[in-house]
Structure 1
Amino acid sequence: MPPPKTYNEKSKETARKFAINSAVDCLTKNRRTATLCRRSYVREVRDYLATSENGYDALEAKKLQNTTIDRWEAFYDSVSQSKEPKNLKVAYLCGPNPENDLRVLTAAGILPENIWAFETDTTTYGQAIAAALASEFPFVKIIHGGIDVFLEASPQKFDIIYLDFCGSLPSRNKKQKTLLAISRILARHALNSPGIIVTNVSLPTENGDSHGRSLLAKLVACYLYPKEFLECEATDSGFTEGAIAEGYSFDKWLEMVSENLDNYYGQFVTRLMMDHASFVSPYSRFPAQSSVYKKFFSNLGKADHQSALNSSFHFDDDSSGGDVIVDAGQYPILWAFAALDKALNAGDENYPQIVMQDEDFRLFADLFLSQLHNENRKDDLIRNISNLTFTLLASSHAIENLSPKLQNIVANHSFREYHQFCDLLLPHQIIELLFRQVAVPYHVNVEKTLRWKYQAKETPMYMDMIVLDECRYLYDWMPTTDMIANGFSNIERQLTFRFALDGVSKHRRWYNPEYFFGTAVVDQFTDLFEAKVLQPRCVIE
């Protein structure tokens, strides 16, 4: 029998230590900043506005008394709770050498008894068991199987999940369903809040897998093309306008992505994780037959509704088309679905030729879309997210799809009844928040998310430490559907909620127009209240 492979390259060891130590610090000594809205945020917004040169803002903000803020801060403490390293529970993919990660985890203060390791390959699993028993960590629990499959049978929750896939995202390897594993972890809410998911994925090289690299270039181009803002270290802000705003045709954009795939793939990995946790996963798991769903919506799935929905995705020959195509910046995820799913635009002669002409890419695109759904159902993914996106906007063509109670909220809403700070309080914001209250999405802490890039021999590796927060200090402060009118009529409760929402929404400003659009209270360029920007990916030599 050949000796087991070992994974102890210096750059890998450095990346591992950075990620694990940063994750432990974030969830323990720096836990107050792991949440999107820090504990002091509501008080800071009130104090800032109370001394504002805008007298109307000051007059309104002063209505929020210290006693109510004290109550919210006590509620925040009950939700976030403090933790020490010994309190953290960790899951990771161990490979043949579980002791490599174990030594770093335990050095950071994690108890071996709180660590679960997973390995799917039978031979590698045997090597991992032998290595663990021969090490100083016999108490670690090593499971033969994938973490996503384990979670189906054992609904446990972890503080840190470390997914050292080594393969690409997504992977064409039938035994390595990287994206599907992430989808199932998110769908089962396997992370405590706040919690951290660390992913480590590769990018094929031209010499190693030129065809796989080409497929990824097309996928990355399709996914990033409709984004309004992209990362750019050459700018003071750290980001720049997206491809459409810059006037690039898709063909030109694909050429640019292909020539600089190492950069754009790194952006794609992070943006996909952000989109998935906060939008794709929670919205895709609400089928129309759910009793909870029916309390919010009606008429969804009927023929006339589906016909109107489908018309939003069609392409015209002049680069225009339905709402999703014309307003790509407002619907970037749905634009990507439209471009990647041939079935969604069957018979449309203007459907992008990138998919029509390349059967291998069509299959790869289907794999990507299917694995975004925790049960591998591409059509359910697209239908559910499309339904919710358009209905939650509560626009004139969508209000009839709301339940009678929500229709009443929209019909009787007047933004003039709410003080305007930065943005108007519009009815779709209330509908969206009520739904997200029960959908329980994760939100990404953009400011504290960290990323690294290193070389594993010749292969570029991308490691992301994504900080996730359920923001229950926001959603559970808010009344439910039948109590919303009374709750918002209490000005102190309303202001507390709107100020906390400002803190949460500052993390999505440059990245996700799909939710919390127009919810700013304080200007996004104000010191202490700025819209958050991802830190650049750190290159480990």
Structure 2
Amino acid sequence: MSNSTTYKQEVKEKSRIEIWSNAVKKLTIEREHQRILNPNYIRRLWDYAFDEILPDKLDRDPDERFIESWTDFSNNSYEKKQPQQLKVAYFCGPEPENDLTIMTDLGILVENVWAIESDKEIYHSALTKAKKTYPTLKIFNGSISDLLKITSFKFDIIYLDFTAPLFSKQSKPLLTINSVFENNSLSDLGILVINSCVPDATEENIEFLASYFRSQPFLESDVLLGPEKSGFFAEGADTYGFIDQESYDCAVAEGDFEYVKDQPIYENAIRSNFGAAYSAFSSHYPVMIAGYMQPMWRIANNPSLKRMLLKIDDPKIRACIEKMMTLRDYESEESDMTEELEDKFQVSGGEVFENHQEFPIWNFMLRLKESKNAVSKYWYEQFSRKNGAASLLESVQLYDLLRNAQYSYKETLSEMLSDSIDQVISALPDPHGGIFCDVPMEHLWIELAINHMGNSYHANTNQHWRAKYQAKSREMYLDMFVFDNCRSLYNWLPMINLYGQDMASIERQIIVRSCMDAITKQNHYSAFFSYYGANLIGVNSKRWSDFGELIARKDLNLKPVSLLDDDPGSSLAPSSLA
């Protein structure tokens, strides 16, 4: 068999070593560093709050038993693991031994591994190969989605080795990624590895990526500004004066060429920086599904959970969602409508378009709906198709409605949640800001309830590892996500109706707000919805108060590597895990 058939190209072998070495190391030796709610960070925020910020606000010293109790609870929520305890699922192809040999060298037990192959012919080839060296290997003939539905346990590592781009219509990788979180299949502290090939820069693919990033409030700088401006996150397209091609064409048709002639066209930036745009999408979309779309989908499909958050029935909810997509007719509104009256009558509407960077995924899906190309139309059908009681599109709309409910759609909130938020705000020492970095706005407590009830997974950006390599015919992008279920926060909370009473304790309040700070620090750029505006301390106010940053993709074609390479920046030698 040729190398192209046996999947034993040198760079592919190198990628396997990098993947499994790093994944095992992160979940064993470096396990403490993968936790977003690291007790050391939370303790620093506790000390900062009570030693530097709140002394003038309190007439007593804080009760240290609260932070000590939470620290014990947090440590008990994250069990230590050895390689032989890790459960693994991976796409095996015709040669499952390629990955499995590396896994077992690192200490992973064959009994804890599930290999997956959906193609019948390749499955039989994999069985034949496995019988020779790993006869007890479990090889599942079907999709990983089917496997995840029947397993009674969670996987510590899931490796999705796609041979197509993530938004391929044929193999549907995006739906496979969705299923990992839909079925709650990743451990509370787990690793998801995704490998996919860079697609051709066709007009369909350019439009898809442009639709995805057009309303993002932050994105990797080289997507918009080119390779010479790489290595940091930039604000969204509006900041740099970009307009989309449709707006440009309309302006020209209406005789306004002079107005738009100097404005850069957004699609041209995606076209010029297509590889960077696909790289950013590969690192971004899984974070969106894990911490934004799936938690609300889970709530929307559970009537009891839905009633905890929402008061009104579905037709009225639908009317509010339609209102959010209907631009206000300012000319016909009363000219004497004061801010006080607007607040009283909750004058609203059109937020999705007027503040489009606050609704990036909703706008992405609307652009897919309006598109005429086949790729975009296909994915709109997938996102809008009901999966249970709700589709992903409806879940996004519900999340965004709830996130704005306290400001403009308060009638949608359940009485329990609304009362709890009012009680929380009353218990805050800084309901209008002026003490800590950010003003603790009402939406934070709604997001807390969604993440609490929806079993959200948050990405640890600082621990994200990614690489690229040139395979025989395609460039491949690898992403290793570390997802934290943050159970030391969500399991520590009471039920929603007791949030207000709980926050009346300043010690418990500071711990909850410190956890929010830790999560938003890691997701500030990649997942704005994860407690955006929950910072207790400003970035760089202390040496330890930074936002999470993505590393550049490591080029695996640069130098060979072996299993005995002890370079800590590349891979982990098996002996160090023995």
TM-score by length of 2: 0.82
Q: Which residue of 1 aligns with 2:69?
A: 71
Describe the SS at the equivalent of 1:505: helix
| 2:13 is equivalent to residue 13 of structure 1 | yes
1:415 is displaced (CA, Å) by 5.6
Rounded to whole Å, the distance in 1 between the matches of 2:328 and 2:419 is: 37
Rounded to whole Å, the distance in 1 between the matches of 2:382 and 2:211 is: 12
| 2:235 is equivalent to residue 248 of structure 1 | no
1:475 is displaced (CA, Å) by 1.4
Rounded to whole Å, the distance in 2 between the matches of 1:299 and 1:443 is: 29
Partner AA of 1:309 in structure 2: I
Q: Tell me if structure 2 keeps the 8 A contact 1:215–1:364.
A: no
Rounded to whole Å, the distance in 2 between the matches of 1:73 and 1:362 is: 47
Describe the SS at the equivalent of 1:218: helix
Q: Which residue of 2 aligns with 1:426?
A: 441
| Partner residue of 1:538 out of 546, 554, 576 | 554
Q: Tell me if structure 2 keeps the 8 A contact 1:195–1:468.
A: yes
Q: Which residue of 1 aligns with 2:498?
A: 483
Q: Tell me if structure 2 keeps the 8 A contact 1:205–1:459.
A: no
1:424 is displaced (CA, Å) by 2.3
1:87 is displaced (CA, Å) by 0.8
Rounded to whole Å, the distance in 2 between the matches of 1:95 and 1:236 is: 35
Q: Which residue of 2 aligns with 1:279?
A: 292
| Partner residue of 2:510 out of 495, 502, 505 | 495
User: Given the superposition, is the C-alpha separation of residues 5 and 415 from structure 1 closer, same or farther in structure 2, using an over 3 Å criterion?
Assistant: same
Partner AA of 2:135 in structure 1: P
Q: Which residue of 1 aligns with 2:311?
A: 298
Rounded to whole Å, the distance in 2 between the matches of 1:537 and 1:101 is: 22
For residues 131-181 of structure 1, the C-alpha deviation after alignment (integer angstroms, 9 at most, x for no partner) is 11112x2221111111111222333311000010111112121xx221111
Any residues of structure 2 matched to 1:57-136 within 5 Å, and which? 63-135=61-133
User: Given the superposition, is the C-alpha separation of residues 155 and 4 from structure 1 closer, same or farther in structure 2, using an over 3 Å criterion?
Assistant: farther
User: Given the superposition, is the C-alpha separation of residues 172 and 414 from structure 1 closer, same or farther in structure 2, using an over 3 Å criterion?
Assistant: closer
Rounded to whole Å, the distance in 1 between the matches of 2:469 and 2:58 is: 51
Rounded to whole Å, the distance in 2 between the matches of 1:329 and 1:61 is: 42
Partner AA of 2:365 in structure 1: F
For residues 200-245 of structure 1, the C-alpha deviation after alignment (integer angstroms, 9 at most, x for no partner) is 1112346xxxxxx432221111101111211137569721122122
User: Given the superposition, is the C-alpha separation of residues 286 and 157 from structure 1 closer, same or farther in structure 2, using an over 3 Å criterion?
Assistant: same
For residues 448-493 of structure 1, the C-alpha deviation after alignment (integer angstroms, 9 at most, x for no partner) is 0111111111211111101111101111222212222221112211
Greater Rg over alpha carbons, structure = 2
Any residues of structure 2 matched to 1:26-37 within 5 Å, and which? 26-37=26-37
| 2:199 is equivalent to residue 222 of structure 1 | no
Partner AA of 1:380 in structure 2: S
Rounded to whole Å, the distance in 1 between the matches of 2:3 and 2:273 is: 38
Q: Tell me if structure 2 keeps the 8 A contact 1:221–1:254.
A: yes
Rounded to whole Å, the distance in 2 between the matches of 1:271 and 1:85 is: 28
User: Given the superposition, is the C-alpha separation of residues 236 and 524 from structure 1 closer, same or farther in structure 2, using an over 3 Å criterion?
Assistant: farther
Q: Which residue of 1 aligns with 2:363?
A: 335
1:41 is displaced (CA, Å) by 1.6
Rounded to whole Å, the distance in 2 between the matches of 1:91 and 1:61 is: 54
Rounded to whole Å, the distance in 2 between the matches of 1:417 and 1:4 is: 62
Describe the SS at the equivalent of 1:423: coil
Partner AA of 2:161 in structure 1: D
Describe the SS at the equivalent of 2:356: coil
Partner AA of 1:146 in structure 2: S
| 2:142 is equivalent to residue 148 of structure 1 | no
| 2:49 is equivalent to residue 46 of structure 1 | no
Gaps of 5+ in 1: 207-212, 343-354
1:270 is displaced (CA, Å) by 1.0
Partner AA of 1:435 in structure 2: I
Q: Tell me if structure 1 keeps the 8 A contact 2:204–2:376.
A: no
User: Given the superposition, is the C-alpha separation of residues 392 and 529 from structure 1 closer, same or farther in structure 2, using an over 3 Å criterion?
Assistant: same
Q: Which residue of 2 aligns with 1:262?
A: 275
Any residues of structure 2 matched to 1:408-419 within 5 Å, and which? 408-412=419-423, 414=425, 417-419=428-430
1:83 is displaced (CA, Å) by 0.5
| Partner residue of 2:221 out of 224, 228, 232 | 232
Partner AA of 1:19 in structure 2: I
Q: Tell me if structure 2 keeps the 8 A contact 1:452–1:464.
A: yes
Rounded to whole Å, the distance in 1 between the matches of 2:521 and 2:3 is: 51
| 2:175 is equivalent to residue 164 of structure 1 | no
Name which of structure 1's ranges 414-423 and 108-117 shifts more when overlaid on structure 2. 414-423
Rounded to whole Å, the distance in 1 between the matches of 2:552 and 2:35 is: 20
1:412 is displaced (CA, Å) by 4.9
For residues 179-212 of structure 1, the C-alpha deviation after alignment (integer angstroms, 9 at most, x for no partner) is 1111111111101110001011112346xxxxxx
Q: Which residue of 2 aligns with 1:202?
A: 197
Q: Which residue of 1 aligns with 2:574?
A: none
1:286 is displaced (CA, Å) by 2.7
1:511 is displaced (CA, Å) by 2.1
TM-score by length of 1: 0.88
Rounded to whole Å, the distance in 2 between the matches of 1:339 and 1:520 is: 32
| 2:360 is equivalent to residue 366 of structure 1 | no
Q: Tell me if structure 2 keeps the 8 A contact 1:228–1:245.
A: no
Rounded to whole Å, the distance in 2 between the matches of 1:60 and 1:237 is: 43
Rounded to whole Å, the distance in 1 between the matches of 2:546 and 2:91 is: 37
1:396 is displaced (CA, Å) by 3.7
Name which of structure 1's ranges 418-427 and 184-193 shifts more when overlaid on structure 2. 418-427
| Partner residue of 2:185 out of 172, 190, 199 | 190
Rounded to whole Å, the distance in 2 between the matches of 1:194 and 1:336 is: 29
* Identity across the alignment (%): 28
User: Given the superposition, is the C-alpha separation of residues 286 and 482 from structure 1 closer, same or farther in structure 2, using an over 3 Å criterion?
Assistant: closer
Partner AA of 1:333 in structure 2: I
For residues 21-79 of structure 1, the C-alpha deviation after alignment (integer angstroms, 9 at most, x for no partner) is 11111111111111112121221122334553x5x467669844432222111101111
User: Given the superposition, is the C-alpha separation of residues 367 and 401 from structure 1 closer, same or farther in structure 2, using an over 3 Å criterion?
Assistant: closer
Q: Tell me if structure 1 keeps the 8 A contact 2:420–2:498.
A: no
Q: Tell me if structure 2 keeps the 8 A contact 1:180–1:374.
A: no
User: Given the superposition, is the C-alpha separation of residues 250 and 42 from structure 1 closer, same or farther in structure 2, using an over 3 Å criterion?
Assistant: same
User: Given the superposition, is the C-alpha separation of residues 93 and 236 from structure 1 closer, same or farther in structure 2, using an over 3 Å criterion?
Assistant: closer
Q: Tell me if structure 2 keeps the 8 A contact 1:415–1:426.
A: no
User: Given the superposition, is the C-alpha separation of residues 21 and 291 from structure 1 closer, same or farther in structure 2, using an over 3 Å criterion?
Assistant: same
Rounded to whole Å, the distance in 1 between the matches of 2:530 and 2:4 is: 48
Rounded to whole Å, the distance in 2 between the matches of 1:339 and 1:530 is: 34
User: Given the superposition, is the C-alpha separation of residues 417 and 44 from structure 1 closer, same or farther in structure 2, using an over 3 Å criterion?
Assistant: closer
Rounded to whole Å, the distance in 2 between the matches of 1:512 and 1:57 is: 33
User: Given the superposition, is the C-alpha separation of residues 242 and 4 from structure 1 closer, same or farther in structure 2, using an over 3 Å criterion?
Assistant: closer
Q: Tell me if structure 2 keeps the 8 A contact 1:505–1:520.
A: yes
Describe the SS at the equivalent of 1:116: strand
User: Given the superposition, is the C-alpha separation of residues 431 and 120 from structure 1 closer, same or farther in structure 2, using an over 3 Å criterion?
Assistant: same
Q: Tell me if structure 2 keeps the 8 A contact 1:220–1:264.
A: yes
Aligned-CA RMSD value: 2.6
User: Given the superposition, is the C-alpha separation of residues 63 and 96 from structure 1 closer, same or farther in structure 2, using an over 3 Å criterion?
Assistant: farther
Rounded to whole Å, the distance in 1 between the matches of 2:553 and 2:59 is: 39
Partner AA of 2:429 in structure 1: Y
Q: Which residue of 2 aligns with 1:351?
A: none
User: Given the superposition, is the C-alpha separation of residues 245 and 133 from structure 1 closer, same or farther in structure 2, using an over 3 Å criterion?
Assistant: same
Partner AA of 1:299 in structure 2: I
Gaps of 5+ in 2: 223-227, 246-264, 330-348, 558-578
| 2:352 is equivalent to residue 324 of structure 1 | yes
For residues 94-146 of structure 1, the C-alpha deviation after alignment (integer angstroms, 9 at most, x for no partner) is 000100000111122111111110101111001001111112x2221111111
1:388 is displaced (CA, Å) by 2.6
The total of aligned residue pairs comes to 509
Q: Tell me if structure 1 keeps the 8 A contact 2:63–2:507.
A: yes
